[in-house]
Amino acid sequence: MIPKHTIDEIFETVKIEEVVGDFITLKKRGVNLLGLCPFHNEKTPSFTVSPTKGIYKCFGCGEGGNSVSFLMDKEHYNYPEALKYLAKKYNIEIEEEEMTSEQTQIANEKDSLYILSTFANTFFIKSLWEKEEGQNIGLSYFKERGFNEEIIKKFELGYSPKNQSALFNEAINNSFDKEVFLKSGLGFKVNDKVIVDRFKDRVMFPIHSFSGRILGFGGRALSKNAKAKYQNSPESSIYNKSKVLYGIFFAKNQISKLDNCYIVEGYTDVLAMHQKGIENVVSASGTSLTTEQVKLISRFTKNITILFDGDAAGIKASFRGVDMILKEGMNVKIIPFPDNHDPDSYSKTLSSDDFKLFLKNQCSRFYNIQNFNFIF
């Protein structure tokens, strides 16, 4: 909880022209400042900032508000997140209201898990790019799958070595706590003495929060003997599967700009679409779509397009999703893929332009709860 007096101090301190000025170029025009609107496409500036009133207003699209609403609209922060951003920018200390010892413990645990996740992510990335094993096995796998280096780097893909305790040993050598390691789900106990890495011998897909923090991982097995092809981090105090969407951090600005969010099934579908220049795409990553995930999308757009695999299981899974999306008051489009294709494989048979054209032509209208029955 941010106390009232701190909120007042933030509002008294912030300068709207500085807050907006971090995102767009403003030029002086009389007592006001003028720039190109970040909320709609325009060539002649109609976005006006009034330093005296502390507000902005776009005469092209009608968007308007104060520093906090600017951050909420532009960066999709919620109210406390916007306040914290401003407090940081202006060096205002937020004295959060006194927490109980239980709350403090949870907060400390979360902090440790975030730090460990970042550490693990760096370890996996280094193992992929700098170690011979990672280059030969992990990097060559991604390249065989058709992913270029730019995409591999952008999504911070990595490699978890075959050595069953490689990450655990590295973490302990860097003074991480064994209990925190176990709580993160990055490893588990096989007996009293031995802790092994959950993701050994896998290529790694870190899962980012919408503000870019590492919450957990998905790992794809490379050995044929592995029990599960994909494995995900178990739930922890920072990773709640049903509230996370894979790719949201990289997609949010485009989702909001293009006013549509594509939903695909797997990690590699998200990567393949990005590689084709389509960035407004996320995946429910290992769960069927949840209400919380749809609510997260609704912060950016009311329109969802589901891309589903052209097999019976794919169709069934997306139907469950459609019903729930409609109940949340969102509009939904469905694009089926040709038999035995998913967005990853199909996108690789087409050029960027042809793939975009395919998506455009497949379905030209959104369905809402009233006209949903007419789809099939």
Binding to Zn ion by residue 263, rule CB under 5 A? no
Compute the least distance from the CB of residue 209 to Zn ion, in Å.
28
> Six-digit token pair at 374?
């007419």
Looking at beta carbons only, is 24 or 182 nearer to Zn ion?
Answer: 24
Residue choice 54, 60, 64, 286 for contact with Zn ion (CB under 5 A): 60
Binding to Zn ion by residue 58, rule CB under 5 A? yes
Compute the least distance from the CB of residue 20 to Zn ion, in Å.
12
> Six-digit token pair at 258?
């293009």
Compute the least distance from the CB of residue 37 to Zn ion, in Å.
3
Residue choice 1, 61, 99, 190 for contact with Zn ion (CB under 5 A): 61
Looking at beta carbons only, is 54 or 64 nearer to Zn ion?
Answer: 64
Residue choice 7, 16, 20, 37 for contact with Zn ion (CB under 5 A): 37
Return the CA Rg of the chain.
23
The three-state secondary structure class of 94 is coil
Compute the least distance from the CB of residue 72 to Zn ion, in Å.
16
Contacts with Zn ion by CB under 5 A: the residue count is: 6
Compute the least distance from the CB of residue 45 to Zn ion, in Å.
10
Looking at beta carbons only, is 39 or 367 nearer to Zn ion?
Answer: 39
Q: Please enumerate in sequence order all residues whose Cβ is within 8 A of that of 178, keeping only pairs 6 or more positions apart, or say none.
A: 172, 195
Binding to Zn ion by residue 257, rule CB under 5 A? no
DSSP string, 182-230: HHHTSEEESSSS-EEETTTTEEEEEEE-TTS-EEEEEEEE-STT-S-SE
Residue choice 7, 14, 39, 239 for contact with Zn ion (CB under 5 A): 39
Looking at beta carbons only, is 40 or 84 nearer to Zn ion?
Answer: 40
Taking CB under 5 A as the binding criterion, the range among 59-67, 74-82, 139-147, 213-221 that sits at the site for Zn ion is 59-67
Residue choice 40, 84, 162, 341 for contact with Zn ion (CB under 5 A): 40
For the beta sheet containing 331-339, the strands, ordered from the edge strand earlier in sequence to the opposite edge, are 281-283, 261-264, 303-310, 331-339
Q: Please enumerate in sequence order all residues whose Cβ is within 8 A of that of 183, keeping only pairs 6 or more positions apart, or say none.
A: 109, 113, 236, 237
For the beta sheet containing 47-50, the strands, ordered from the edge strand earlier in sequence to the opposite edge, are 27-29, 32-35, 47-50, 55-58, 64-66
Taking CB under 5 A as the binding criterion, the range among 52-60, 65-73, 132-140, 295-303 that sits at the site for Zn ion is 52-60
> Six-digit token pair at 373?
């029955």
Q: Are 55 and 61 in contact (CB under 8 A)?
A: no
- Which ranges constitute the DSSP H helices of the chain? 4-13, 16-21, 67-74, 79-89, 101-129, 132-133, 140-144, 149-154, 166-173, 178-184, 248-258, 267-275, 291-298, 312-327, 343-347, 352-362
Q: Are 282 and 276 in contact (CB under 8 A)?
A: no
Binding to Zn ion by residue 64, rule CB under 5 A? no
Looking at beta carbons only, is 37 or 171 nearer to Zn ion?
Answer: 37
Taking CB under 5 A as the binding criterion, the range among 61-69, 178-186, 306-314, 327-335 that sits at the site for Zn ion is 61-69
CB atoms within 10 A of CB 105: 11
Window 165-204: residues binding Zn ion (CB under 5 A): none
Looking at beta carbons only, is 70 or 217 nearer to Zn ion?
Answer: 70
Window 352-371: residues binding Zn ion (CB under 5 A): none
Looking at beta carbons only, is 61 or 313 nearer to Zn ion?
Answer: 61
The residue ranges that bind Zn ion (CB under 5 A) are 37, 39-40, 58, 60-61
